[in-house]
């Protein structure tokens, strides 16, 4: 779980993510992950935004590092613009209740809302490819990193870069050393950008997580 800061035109959201992978061979795995973004997107909309992805990873493993390549298939079932239409149709625009809709503030607010919506543009199905890996820094720590490119059929293109640091809990805790194949505590930061939506800034995220190997 963590936080997601889409852009200066949006408020920060909370992020919750769960991911499961099954290792078919020492060099191949497949899995699914679910991610939820929740909170007040801006002065107009409180939203629970959902992403679902399935993927397969092919690994190249050495003693102190591992690399992988992964095709990714995604689905998003949340349309921010549809939420706004429903709200405005019912006259529930909270900001509009505070200001005169004819003045320039209303126009500026609408521009900000549209800019915010652009950070959630992978509506429907998307496809992508991810490159990533990790390196062992010693007994306790490891570095991770990935680069993910995604494209959907509305021609949205998104790049996500995610470096991270992981701590091996099996080195300091008896229970996972005896019961689990692996157990890592991780901290990741993410940088995300669209390249064909008129977006001129990077969204940022920070996620604290735990990985269990059974």
* pLDDT band of 96, cuts 50, 70, 90: very low
On the question of pLDDT at 95 being above 90, the answer is no
- In the block, tokens 């549209």 appear at 114
* pLDDT band of 105, cuts 50, 70, 90: very low
* 76-92 pLDDT tens trace: 765 554 444 554 454 44
* pLDDT band of 201, cuts 50, 70, 90: confident
pTM (predicted TM-score): 0.80
On the question of pLDDT at 110 being above 60, the answer is no
């Amino acid at each position: 779980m963590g936080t997601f800061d889409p852009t200066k035109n949006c408020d920060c959201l909370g992020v919750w993510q769960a991911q499961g992978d099954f290792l078919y061979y020492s060099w191949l795995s497949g899995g699914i992950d679910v991610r939820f973004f929740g909170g007040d997107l801006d002065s107009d909309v409180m939203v629970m935004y959902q992403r679902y992805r399935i993927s397969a990873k092919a690994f190249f493993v050495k003693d102190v590092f591992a690399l992988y390549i992964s095709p990714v298939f995604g689905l998003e079932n949340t349309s921010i613009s549809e939420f706004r239409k429903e709200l405005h149709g019912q006259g529930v625009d909270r900001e509009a209740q505070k200001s005169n809709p004819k003045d320039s503030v209303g126009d500026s607010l609408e521009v900000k809302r549209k800019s915010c919506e652009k950070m959630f543009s992978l509506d429907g199905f998307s496809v992508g490819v991810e490159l990533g890996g990790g390196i062992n820094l010693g007994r306790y720590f490891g570095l991770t990193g990935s680069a993910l490119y995604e494209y959907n059929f509305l021609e949205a293109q998104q790049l996500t870069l995610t470096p991270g640091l992981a701590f091996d809990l099996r080195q300091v805790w008896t229970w996972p050393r005896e019961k689990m194949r692996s157990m890592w505590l991780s901290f990741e930061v993410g940088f995300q950008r669209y390249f064909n939506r008129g977006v001129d800034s990077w969204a940022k995220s920070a996620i604290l997580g735990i990985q269990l190997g059974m």
